[in-house]
Amino acid sequence: MGNEPHPPYQRPPLSKNYLTGDVDQESLYLKPRSVYENAGHQLRLGVRVEQIDRDSSTISLSDQSRLQYDRLVLATGSHLRHLNAPGADLNGIHYLHDIADSEVLREQLVAGKRLVVVGGGYIGLEVAASANKKGVNVTVLEAAERLMQRVTGPEISAFFYDKHRGAGVDVRLNTAVTGFEEGDQGHVAGVTLADGGTVPADIVLVSIGVIPETALAKGAGLPCDNGIIVDEFTRTEDPAILAIGDCTRHRNLFFEKMQRLESVANAVDQARTAAATLMGEEKPYDSVPWFWSNQYDVRLQMVGLSQNHDQRVVRGSPEDKGFAVFYLREGCVIAVDAVNLPLAFLVGKTLVQQRRTINPELLEDPDTELKSLVNGRLQS
């Protein structure tokens, strides 16, 4: 069941090559429709699940029908965080979450227009790079003191700051947005700032994060706290109901804590665990989180969670073709961010998985072969 009209699809290209028009819609689909048909799976699209009745094991749908279940998997994802500020309803203010949003925004990205991106996280920056490629004049407004602050360290933030500035994007840090100015016919004309200034705009993209979609689960009385609470087997409190992906806060065996993740890798890995659970196998979810982002000719690959590091080691330098930042805690590699350096990502993934303690000097030394730091085979 899905309330969007499309078969299941990948969202990452919506801010990248689908937004620039370099790939078509079919290429977004996870599988061709025939795969579902051949497997005997029914796809019911454009239908919203309104309610779960756990007593009768039924769900009510927006087309007024009901469906009985033996087991139910909630994969409801997340919804956009909206900016509540004066003028937020003006025409020309966009958000980006689904195919329709990307297509509407793509139409607007015409060379010479002025786009203001509110939020310097992954998605805002990817849109900035895509729009820049199309000749749009882009300004990025970020309230924090550096870009992607929530997910990465200062070296990577600084690298992307320079990359965007070098491409001609006006990136402004420590810049809080207070509202939007109205131009002709209810269209946005500018973004107002806390310092009293205004940035003129023809188009605005607000990209300030997502909120887990827990309404169905909450309505059914399932425990939710910044996500639907699930165990390492993706089970909710109700043994008949599982939950996976962006909508969950799960017990992460690797980090030994409750964790919510917004990434394709997490959604796919939790789906595998859920399938095993449904088949009566016990395969706990213990993956190390990983993410990626493409901006310009740069591929950023990140593995682990760097927030609690007490030491950073930079291998290579931003001036090189590629470089990586290793994040350590008590000598143990807990995360790696690699810029155009896929081997550092793969080695990092293995080191994080193996919870390896490494001499930081070896990590830093360009004469140390990265592969030699790993015991056994690299994690794919």
Name the site residues for ligand FAD (rule: CB under 6 A). 1-4, 11-12, 14-15, 48-49, 75-78, 96-97, 123, 213, 216, 245-247, 262-265, 267, 291-293
- 280-to-239, 284, 358 alpha-carbon distances in Å: 12, 12, 39
**Distance in angstroms (rounded) separating the CA atoms of residues 45 and 357:** 49
Take residue 195 and report the two structure tokens written for it.
Answer: 């310092």
CB of 356 to ligand FAD, least distance (A): 24
- Alpha carbon 249 to chain centroid distance? 15
Closest to ligand FAD by CB, 33 or 371: 33
Which residue, 190 or 348, is less far from ligand FAD as judged by CB? 348
Quote the least distance from Cβ 188 to ligand FAD, whole Å. 21
Cβ burial, residue 34 (10 Å; 0-12/13-18/19+): exposed
- Is residue 43 classed as helix, strand or coil in its secondary structure? coil
Q: What is the CA radius of gyration of the chain?
A: 22
Q: Closest distance between ligand FAD and the C-beta of residue 136, in Å?
A: 17
Strand partners, 78: 212
Q: What backbone phi and psi angles, to 5 degrees, belong to 76?
A: -85, 0
- Residue closer to ligand FAD, measured from CB, 306 or 328: 306
**Closer residue to ligand FAD, CB minimum distance, 49 or 141:** 49
Shortest distance, CB of residue 363 to ligand FAD, whole angstroms?
Answer: 25
Q: How far is the CB of 231 from ligand FAD (least distance, A)?
A: 17
Nearer to ligand FAD, 49 or 303 (CB): 49
Is 312 within 8 Å of 325 (Cβ atoms)? yes
Q: Which is nearer to ligand FAD, 63 or 320 (CB)?
A: 63
CA 113/CA 173 separation, integer angstroms: 22
Q: Which is nearer to ligand FAD, 66 or 355 (CB)?
A: 66
Least distance from ligand FAD to the Cβ atom of residue 200, Å: 25
Which spans in the chain are helix H? 33-38, 99-108, 122-133, 154-167, 215-219, 264-278, 342-353, 360-364
The three state secondary structure string of 116-163 is EEECCCHHHHHHHHHHHHCCCEEEEECCCCCCCCCCCCHHHHHHHHHH
Q: Looking at the DSSP assignment, which residues form a beta bridge with residue 242? A: 73, 235
Q: Which of 6, 102, 7, 5 is nearest to 62 (CA)?
A: 5
Least distance between ligand FAD and beta carbon 342 (Å): 15
Q: In Å, how far are 21, 56, 58, 59, 61 from 68, measured between CA atoms?
A: 41, 8, 4, 7, 11
CB of 105 to ligand FAD, least distance (A): 10
Smallest gap, in angstroms, from Cβ of residue 256 to ligand FAD?
22
CB of 321 to ligand FAD, least distance (A): 22
Instruction: At 103, give phi and psi (nearest 5°).
Output: -70, -40
Q: Which is nearer to ligand FAD, 199 or 267 (CB)?
A: 267
For ligand FAD, the closer CB: 264 or 314: 264
Residue closer to ligand FAD by CB (options 76, 374) is 76
